Structure 1
């Protein structure tokens, strides 16, 4: 019998262990790995050729996976189950896929800068359409940058400042009362000590969502808070579970922010982009299309006014517009006319 150098096939508990580990690494990769995690991941891949094989197979399966929750108009039949299901593959891969937290298979970069707490730093970071980046800042703070976004990072010995030039970013801030962390977007300055919050710069407003702790929301030009004063607080603060919306045309020096409580489920939807997902809950199709278009160079265009206000709910991969369009065609009576750079949507 000839000897063979082929890799032994996976069997039993050993197969389950490798698949479970591969699933964990896929989830870590998609939420962003630190420099140390990346080194450990590479070592794991090099330990056994089967590690890389299983990881690649799991990655390929995940690319075909969309989790859809469909809000159907009254009188509409049930959606095609085959459309909503992931592509069928071997049992062991489907088991591992089920173990993942929802994330899309998009490789994105973790930037690690020298961790010198008091060092000066000036960096510009930009993401392309559909790209994401996670940055470990020198002080231990972490920034996650969404699609088509740009930030300007400036650290000095006495202050940590980030300017959101465009797009959206989430900040997990390392506590340091002697060195405030300030994020500016338009004429809005968000000041934190140790907290986590999301900032989105829209065409007409700045949105600030606090997920942990509390922040000040100030006028970056004239100073002063943009929040209404509260009797129990000498300094107005935006706290965890609240969102402030500040129009870009707001009159400076006045309480211009509209503050609203945000339920945990809504917070999860707002931050789903960190896992490369888009989540919708009973929203007009025009809003769904606008979100897909943020993440893709191929644009969806509603070419029928009757479609714009139809409401939908569901969870999709950020790059999953083809599956969404197929869903509209097969379930909601929509005709899709596809070209190289866009898809026109009309009612039949």
Structure 2
């Protein structure tokens, strides 16, 4: 029987190909990329199974929970550059990553072995543009619905199903698999489910979790000791190291971006503009502190941003100015006049 070789041995990558993968994952290019860059990178990976396999390996090692511990341990023993302007700058920051990875050899051996093809098929990057939404069938039978201007990385292994929401908003309809928990991480939060339907919305420094079916657990990203359970008909907001309180809402009257609407209650206007900006042709900006922190609520039509702004201006005494490149909302005392 012919022995199967790992993908990397069948189709060795060039030095430039490996460098692009490391720069994207390790050097942080993914964090700075826009939707177009994400789509180009995703298409580039899909052109070659070896590239996709290598990216899965690197991402698995770099984001392994033991990596940070190893990095801290190595960091305390690395030689310092005493000639650098800052007192603690390493001569080669890549050396820290390489040294820490060396401490993880025993852990990463299993990650670097040829993966189950059905698992590899689940490792993908997804991105949407402004005013664009998408529905994606995942390899495990789950469904990923993405709002506009969203970026998501899907990383399935034999032990768990992990999703990273880098930007935007997404609804997850999770296929049941008790052997592999379904974990969604945003910048602020970690959400864990087995089989359920929930929505995760990342607005700046706040993540809002809304549960539509089943039960999930959630906690601030680095504070698992603050885990709360959130059931259908409940939502919770997570920011920094804080979570909660859990709030109930009426499931029967619930609407969201999948119906072309945004439904909010007592949030800052700055957060609402994040929602509007995903569907607006022109960037919307809150021009002063009072306007940014103004508490607003209601149901708004994402297909009619113009009318939404007029309503907000009338209700809250805001002035609206348009320069062609951006639309700015500012406090206008008691005035209800809108120039838009």
* Range into which the TM-score falls when normalised by the shorter chain: 0.5 to 0.7
What CA deviation, in whole Å up to 9, does each residue of 1:205-247 have, x standing for no partner? 333222211122256668x44225xxxxxxxx33222323332
Give the Cα separation in 2 of the matches to 1:283 and 1:207.
Answer: 11
Q: Which has the higher helix share?
A: 2
Equivalent position of 1:238 in the other structure: 230
What CA deviation, in whole Å up to 9, does each residue of 1:168-225 have, x standing for no partner? 2111101111222111223633221111112223332333222211122256668x44
Instruction: Tell me by how many angstroms 1:120 deviates.
Output: 4.3
- Identify the structure with bigger relative contact order (alpha carbons < 8 Å, sequence gap 6+): 1
Equivalent position of 1:154 in the other structure: 155
CA contact (8 A) 1:242 1:259 kept: no
Are the structure 2 counterparts of residues 315 and 306 from structure 1 closer, same or farther at C-alpha, using a change threshold of 3 Å? same
Task: After superposing the two structures, state which structure 1 stretch, 212-221 or 187-196, moved more.
Answer: 212-221
Structure 1 residues without counterparts, runs of 5 or longer:
1-115, 229-236, 251-255
Alignment of 1:261-300 (within 5 A): 261-264=247-250, 268-269=254-255, 272-280=256-264, 288-300=272-284
Equivalent position of 2:302 in the other structure: 318
Are the structure 2 counterparts of residues 339 and 174 from structure 1 closer, same or farther at C-alpha, using a change threshold of 3 Å? same
What CA deviation, in whole Å up to 9, does each residue of 1:135-192 have, x standing for no partner? 1112210111122211111122332211111222111101111222111223633221
Structure 2 residues without counterparts, runs of 5 or longer:
1-116
CA contact (8 A) 1:216 1:238 kept: yes
For residue 306 of structure 2, give the secondary structure of its aligned residue in structure 1.
helix
Equivalent position of 2:321 in the other structure: 337
Give the Cα separation in 2 of the matches to 1:321 and 1:152.
Answer: 29
* Structure 1 residue 257 corresponds to structure 2 residue 243: yes
Give the Cα separation in 2 of the matches to 1:345 and 1:226.
Answer: 37
What CA deviation, in whole Å up to 9, does each residue of 1:261-318 have, x standing for no partner? 321169825xx11222123557665554443234324123455777667776554331
RMSD (CA atoms): 3.5
Aligned pairs, number: 216
Equivalent position of 2:30 in the other structure: none
Are the structure 2 counterparts of residues 157 and 125 from structure 1 closer, same or farther at C-alpha, using a change threshold of 3 Å? same
Are the structure 2 counterparts of residues 122 and 305 from structure 1 closer, same or farther at C-alpha, using a change threshold of 3 Å? closer
Are the structure 2 counterparts of residues 304 and 244 from structure 1 closer, same or farther at C-alpha, using a change threshold of 3 Å? closer
Equivalent position of 2:52 in the other structure: none
Instruction: Tell me by how many angstroms 1:345 deviates.
Output: 4.1
Instruction: Tell me by how many angstroms 1:124 deviates.
Output: 0.6
* Structure 1 residue 125 corresponds to structure 2 residue 111: no
* Structure 1 residue 173 corresponds to structure 2 residue 174: yes
Are the structure 2 counterparts of residues 195 and 267 from structure 1 closer, same or farther at C-alpha, using a change threshold of 3 Å? farther
Give the Cα separation in 1 of the matches to 2:265 and 2:202.
Answer: 22
For residue 129 of structure 2, give the secondary structure of its aligned residue in structure 1.
coil
CA contact (8 A) 1:181 1:191 kept: yes
What CA deviation, in whole Å up to 9, does each residue of 1:76-122 have, x standing for no partner? xxxxxxxxxxxxxxxxxxxxxxxxxxxxxxxxxxxxxxxx9666421
Alignment of 1:40-189 (within 5 A): 120-186=121-187, 188-189=189-190
Give the Cα separation in 2 of the matches to 1:139 and 1:275.
Answer: 25
Equivalent position of 1:247 in the other structure: 239
CA contact (8 A) 2:121 2:139 kept: no
Give the Cα separation in 2 of the matches to 1:306 and 1:127.
Answer: 32
CA contact (8 A) 2:203 2:271 kept: no
Give the Cα separation in 2 of the matches to 1:282 and 1:245.
Answer: 12
Give the Cα separation in 1 of the matches to 2:278 and 2:236.
Answer: 22
CA contact (8 A) 1:134 1:143 kept: yes
TM-score normalised by L of structure 2? 0.53
Give the Cα separation in 2 of the matches to 1:331 and 1:219.
Answer: 34
For residue 324 of structure 1, give the secondary structure of its aligned residue in structure 2.
helix
Instruction: Tell me by how many angstroms 1:335 deviates.
Output: 5.2
